[in-house]
Amino acid sequence: MEQQQLKIYNGKIITPAKIINGGTVLVRDGIIIAVNEGDIDAPGATLIDAGGKYISPGFIDIHIHGGGGHDFMDNTVEAFLAIAGIHAKHGTTAMSPTTLTSSKEDLLETLRTYELADEHNINGSQFIGMHLEGPYFAVNQCGAQDPRYIRDPDPEEYKEIIAGTPVIKRWSAAPELKGAIEFGRYVTSKGILAAIAHTDAIYEEALEAFENGYTLATHLYSGMLGVTRRKAFRYAGVVEAAYLIDGMDVEIIADGIHLPPPLLKLVYKIKGAKRTALITDAMRAAGMPPGESVLGSLKNGLKVIVEDGVAKLRDRSAFAGSVATADCLVRNMIKMADVPLLEAVQMATLTPAAIMKVANKKGSIGAGKDADIVIFDEDINVSTTIVKGKVIYER
């Protein structure tokens, strides 16, 4: 069979170490086979002229719920594929579909739907495994998660869920709950990333959690304690634990609203680009006009209002979700947090790839890597998105 070649040229290639001006990337059958500072002779290859724009690794969103009017917990193949398609237009080439706290039955249905959708996902961001957000959370930190379904880890339940499917790659939970340390050890033993989320844990509990497999802080600052008092005594929370534990990775919703610029700067200053992943945490209203929306499934989700660039509870007492897209995150880190382009891109590409243990294939431009590539201008406006060597979006 004749091999299909794609040549992307006349661009500024973003690599982990530097930017290659006037560079060329050569792709064969979905894999990058060469990266060069000048031209590469490739007779018969399909040509893409980057026009002097940046040629970047595709963005990897490891925490995302929906977009374009759809949520993964709608539990339809159409919803999965639509979300993958809408976010590809904003440069996301790989994503971890994420659940919300729900009944066990709904959760199992979402996992089955993921498997069906993954077989048909040829025109959008690639799925790299499910992220289960809940239901093992602290009720006090539920945020917009449905408190009806919040519960302590149940070994019989989570072992059955994990045994039933290979697609779970991450599970977020509150480590101070009864049985949560054993849960962390178990999921880690199965190759699943345990993450701290929606938690009342203090530093000492977070440290114990880290030592038992919880190596990621889910949406840092959101759904967790900072410095707190218990009676007369002051305690550090998970926020401080994430800073103090050098090996703890963090993810942040860099929409400029969940975390304002000073906090974006602080996270970057302390954790750096290698330990910080940018996430959208986007709900169904991402890519849609402001107004009323639903967080979670249409069947039993939470009604919310989208305004000021964020989803809020209807009484406007708290945020209820993000409507960000990945290009927005990178742009914000550059413009709001003064992060250099190379590191801002790393936070949306190589760092999340490393956290999800797919950096051998994704997250950077180099020979042997998947041809997941985004072309954008100085303002991070995406003009072309390529997934596994296939042009998914072109403006």
pLDDT at site 144: 77
Q: pLDDT, tens digit, for every residue of 54-102? A: 999 999 999 999 999 999 999 999 999 999 999 999 999 999 999 999 9
Residue owning tokens 């006090």: 140
| Average pLDDT rounded to a whole number, residues 212-234 | 96
CA 323 to chain centre: 13
User: E strands along 65-143, which residues?
Assistant: 66-67, 70-71, 92-97, 126-127, 130-133
pLDDT at site 307: 94
Verdict on whether the full-model pTM lies above 0.75: yes
Q: pLDDT, tens digit, for every residue of 163-196? A: 999 999 999 999 999 999 999 999 999 999 999 9
CA 280 to chain centre: 6
Q: pLDDT, tens digit, for every residue of 53-65? A: 999 999 999 999 9
| 278, containing H or E segment | strand 276-279
Is 99 in contact with 132 (CB distance < 8 Å)?
A: yes
pLDDT at site 3: 62
390 pLDDT band, cuts 50/70/90, is very high
pLDDT over 90 (residue 6): yes
| Average pLDDT rounded to a whole number, residues 41-56 | 96
| Average pLDDT rounded to a whole number, residues 236-251 | 98
Q: pLDDT, tens digit, for every residue of 317-357? A: 888 889 999 999 999 999 999 999 999 999 999 999 999 99
pLDDT at site 1: 39
| Average pLDDT rounded to a whole number, residues 368-395 | 97
Q: pLDDT, tens digit, for every residue of 130-152? A: 999 999 999 988 877 888 999 99
Question: Does residue 135 have a cis peptide bond before it, meaning omega lies within 30 degrees of 0?
Answer: yes
pLDDT over 50 (residue 122): yes
Is 20 in contact with 342 (CB distance < 8 Å)?
A: no
Length of the chain: 395
pLDDT at site 158: 98
pLDDT at site 302: 86
* Residue ranges of domains in the chain, CATH in brackets: 5-56+369-394 (2.30.40.10), 59-355 (3.20.20.140)
CA trace torsion 157, 158, 164, 167 (10° rounding):
150
Average pLDDT across the chain, whole number? 96
DSSP assignment of 165-199: -S-EEEEEE-TTSTTHHHHHHHHHHTTPEEEE-S-
Q: What residues are annotated to the active site?
A: 281
CA–CA separation, 380 and 351 (whole Å): 19
Handedness of CA 322, 327, 333, 334 (dihedral sign): negative
Q: In the chain, count of helices (H) and strands (E)?
A: 10, 25
| Average pLDDT rounded to a whole number, residues 272-293 | 96
Contacts of 104 (CB under 8 A, 6+ apart): 157, 161
Whole-Å CA distances, 357 to 84, 361, 366: 21, 9, 17
